């Protein structure tokens, strides 16, 4: 058994970088990796000094999906209540960015779709090849992809199992920023810093409203939004943001 850690965690200022670390297997997800991801995301959400997370793959590729050897041994890399790789059912409360080099396939694409922002190399490839294996993209691919791409483009990916190039993905709005090969992580860090410069309570509340409001009735939209956003307006950080603007300085956030 290898002593290699399946997930590497690095803190840079207020950004947490999580690296899928099985490059010899194109970072295919094992149960151990999924368990490590749950621990990393819980620590990320619980740490008030962290504002943004990044998920990246080691060795020039993002993730080829589920580790099939583990699957054949009955070890599916899905955590109850948390989903594939510990993220697809319950992503973190805070914003998270996928930095994609190489392939993001099957469960790998489903991890990407669980993120809020996507940065990709021009040579990156996305796909849900489950139908080619007699399986189904049950880790969120069937649920999320038709809401991120035009219906017929999404259905082509889902029903053929063929890959979608990064440039076409960006043209349809799936990818936020394209980079040259090898530049996805640096560009993701740059984007993360732009996000992390903002109020941490504002970021969490904004993400929560966007994600939860899809299930709200029209007549209750603003009432339910207010329950989430009113505490932000009443926070110390809101006063700090206004004071910093008036005083022409950078705000010092306390997540309070």
Known catalytic residues are: 110, 130
Cα angle 95, 177, 85 (rounded to 5 degrees) comes to 45
Q: Measured between alpha carbons, how far is residue 119 from residues 100, 102, 138, 166, 178 in Å?
A: 6, 12, 24, 9, 6
- The answer to whether 62 touches 102, Cβ cutoff 8 Å, is yes
Q: Are 81 and 35 in contact (CB under 8 A)?
A: no
In degrees rounded to 5, what are phi and psi of residue 6?
A: -75, -15
Helix 236-246 vs helix 221-233: crossing angle, to nearest 10: 70
DSSP state of 30: P
DSSP 8-state secondary structure symbol assigned to residue 132:
G
Angle, vertex CA 108, rays to CA 107 and CA 112, nearest 5: 110
Q: Give the span between the Cα atoms of 121 and 124, in whole angstroms.
A: 5
In whole angstroms, what is the distance from residue 87 CA to residue 139 CA? 9
Query: Within the chain, what is the greatest distance between any pair of CA atoms?
Result: 61
- Give me the residue label for tokens 């139908």: 131
């Amino acid at each position: 058994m290898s002593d290699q850690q399946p997930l590497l965690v690095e803190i840079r200022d207020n950004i947490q970088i999580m690296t899928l670390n099985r490059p010899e297997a194109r970072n295919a997800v094992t149960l151990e990796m999924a368990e490590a991801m749950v621990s990393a995301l819980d620590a990320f959400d619980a740490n008030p000094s962290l504002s943004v997370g990044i998920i990246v793959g080691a060795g020039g590729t993002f993730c080829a999906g589920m580790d099939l050897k583990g699957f054949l041994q009955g070890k599916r890399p899905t955590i109850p209540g948390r989903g594939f790789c510990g993220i697809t059912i319950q992503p973190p409360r805070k914003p998270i960015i996928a930095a994609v080099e190489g392939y993001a396939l099957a469960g790998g694409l489903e991890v990407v779709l669980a993120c809020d922002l996507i940065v990709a190399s021009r040579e990156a490839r996305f796909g849900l090849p489950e139908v080619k294996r007699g399986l189904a993209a049950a880790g969120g691919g069937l649920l999320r992809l038709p809401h991120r791409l035009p219906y017929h483009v999404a259905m082509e990916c889902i029903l053929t199992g063929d890959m979608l190039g990064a440039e076409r993905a960006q043209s349809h709005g799936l990818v936020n920023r394209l980079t040259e090969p090898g530049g996805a992580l640096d560009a993701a860090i740059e984007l993360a810093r732009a996000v992390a410069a903002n109020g941490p309570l504002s970021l969490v509340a904004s993400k929560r409203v966007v994600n939860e409001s899809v299930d709200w009735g029209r007549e209750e939209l603003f009432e339910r939004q207010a329950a989430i956003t009113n505490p932000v307006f009443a926070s110390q950080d809101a006063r700090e943001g206004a004071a910093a603007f008036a005083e022409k300085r950078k705000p010092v956030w306390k997540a309070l």
